[in-house]
Amino acid sequence: MVRKVRVRAPATVSNLNCGFDVLGMAINEPFDTVELELTDTGRIEIADIRGCDTLSRDPEENVVGPVLHAMATAMDFTAGFRVIIEKGIHPGSGIGSSAASSAAAAFAANLLFDNAFSLSELVGFAMEGERLASGSPHADNVAPSLFGGITLVRNYEPLDIVQLHLPPELSVVVIHPDTEVKTSVARGLLDRHLPLETAVRQWGNVGGLVAGLYSEDYELISRSLEDFVAEPRRAGLIHGFSGMKKSALASGALGAGISGSGPSVFALCRGESSARAVLESMSRVMHSERIGFKAYLSPVSSRGAGIC
Ligand code: HSE
């Protein structure tokens, strides 16, 4: 029996503008790594968290705790785990930091349990980490972090995850400003009820985006990357957002918007050279606003969580 594994899980851009809580995609970097070892202690011990000094090592306060607890309960497993987390993704960045640690922990535990669970079942366990992090167990980051590529949460109860077709030319730019937005705060800004007209426009775009991905119709993808639900409420949380979005679109991005609940801003582009031009123009906005940031350019990653 394998007693120790090391797993990495990628950062993710969720919502993709029109798909609040249902659409997400994996990017190549950054990523989190979780090392998991079976012990005989009967408890979950987080021995170290590297790359971040603000996260708790108390398993009741760290996202890996509820994930491992739920999986151990489902398996009637009473031994223990020793965990080492390496954070490549900054917490509160909007690119699925809590989701990547949760996904890596779920994938690693499943290896130690001899692959007892399907990837979709792992999404359900990893959502327990999201519940702890933001108070709401959404799956639009953990699903692509586990599956890779672009995923759709067709339904939450029961969970139904669909991995969508990935057109080969999609590149993603992510600008992560040096600020933090708490997902719970960003979710608190949203309307609980939507006018029917708004819902119609939003689900028209979800359908359009999915159709555009399958037909590799980049114009249709571009037209569908609109958000009438979250962006109008959240844009004000992100200094420089409208300038970055305008400059991304003017430089040829297919679309741009808030990554997850922010503060990261993403732009989807056709091809790497277009993405480079978009990255430069978005960076210029951040420099002119004197806001510190990190920038990532990546193809949409077809790889989800895996052994490293
Ligand atoms: N869909 C979630 C939200 C993602 O926008 O609140 C948060 O990571």
Task: Give 4-54 pLDDT, tens digit per residue.
Answer: 999 999 999 999 999 999 999 999 999 999 999 999 999 999 999 999 999
Average pLDDT, the chain: 97
Q: How far apart are the C-alpha atoms of 175 and 6, rounded to whole Å?
A: 28
- How sure is the predictor about 92, in pLDDT bands with cuts at 50, 70 and 90? very high
Is the Cβ–Cβ distance between 139 and 130 less than 8 Å? yes
145-155 mean pLDDT: 98
Per the structure block, which two tokens stand in for 233? 């409420």
248-268 mean pLDDT: 98
pLDDT at position 20:
98
Closest residue (by CA) to atom 8 of ligand 1?
A: 260
Residue 183 designated active-site: yes
- How sure is the predictor about 2, in pLDDT bands with cuts at 50, 70 and 90? confident
pLDDT per residue as tens digits for the range 94-111: 999 999 999 999 999 999
pLDDT at position 231:
98
The verdict on the CB of residue 21 being under 6 Å from ligand 1 is yes
Catalytic residue of the set 151, 183, 226, 231? 183
Q: Which of 101, 141, 264 to mutate to test the pocket of ligand 1 (most atoms within 8 A of CB)?
A: 141
pLDDT at position 1:
72
The verdict on the CB of residue 281 being under 6 Å from ligand 1 is no
User: So where are the chain's domains?
Assistant: 4-164, 170-299
DSSP character for 237?
G
pLDDT per residue as tens digits for the range 261-290: 999 999 999 999 999 999 999 999 999 999
Q: How far apart are the C-alpha atoms of 71 and 62, rounded to whole Å?
A: 15
- At the second CATH level, the architecture of 4-164 is 2-Layer Sandwich (3.30)
Q: How far apart are the C-alpha atoms of 25 and 185, rounded to whole Å?
A: 23
Is the Cβ–Cβ distance between 105 and 64 less than 8 Å? yes
Q: Is the dihedral of CA 300, 173, 264, 34 positive or negative?
A: positive
- CATH no., domain 170-299: 3.30.70.890
Q: How far apart are the C-alpha atoms of 80 and 65, rounded to whole Å?
A: 12
